[in-house]
Amino acid sequence: MEQSGKPPGRDQIRAPLTRDWIMKQSSGAVLFVCLGNICRSPLAEAAFRREAQRAGLTVDIDSAGTGGWHAGEPPDPRAQTIAWRHGVDISDYRARQISADDFKRFTHIIALDRDNLAALRRLRPKDCLASLSLLLDEVPGREGQSVADPYYGGLKDFEVTWADVSAGAASLALRLLRGRNTPSD
């Protein structure tokens, strides 16, 4: 709300995110999205929580899947193992499917792969102001690339996923700290 007590105008809502804006709003909002919300997106959420905390950002962070097959389930045990190895506990996370409200709640909706980005673009309401992008668009030299789905692999594949989401999370936190709204700003 503005000081006048009126909600901000449309031009104010579209203003680029800055660290001051994020802090004044009590939080920015970032949603990580993969297919089932049990492997990649929970790891991305955890990696970004850690990076945001290190950077001093107050950001609302969550993850979801475009599919609802695993709704209510904890992350894959292999994802939990890899997160634990990196000092992060994701055992209390629960999978959920993206909802229409997410397009209003989050300022940044970040897909882990191109297929899920395409699905998000189809689901996106016309009045949605959230930016949609790929996580690896945040990493110089990795633009347009997907984070590989480790579901059918082993712990080594989950370790590669952790490395990818950690790199993306660190770059995203730095970008938000610098006040840039999109990777290309």
Whether 40 sits among the annotated catalytic residues: the reply is yes
Q: How far apart are CA 76 and CA 149, in angstroms?
A: 12
39 is catalytic: no
150: closest CA among 38, 71, 60?
38
Cα four-point dihedral sign 97, 98, 99, 101: positive
Of 39, 40, 96, 102, the active-site residue reads: 40
DSSP 60-127: EEEEEESS-TTTTPPPPHHHHHHHHHTT---TT----B--TTHHHH-SEEEESSHHHHHHHHHH--TT
Of these residues, 76, 102, 113, 149, which one is catalytic?
149
128 is catalytic: no
Query: In angstroms, rounded to a whole number, what is the distance separating the alpha carbons of residues 158 and 62?
Result: 20
Distance CA 136, CA 129 (A): 21
Please list the active-site residues: 34, 40, 149
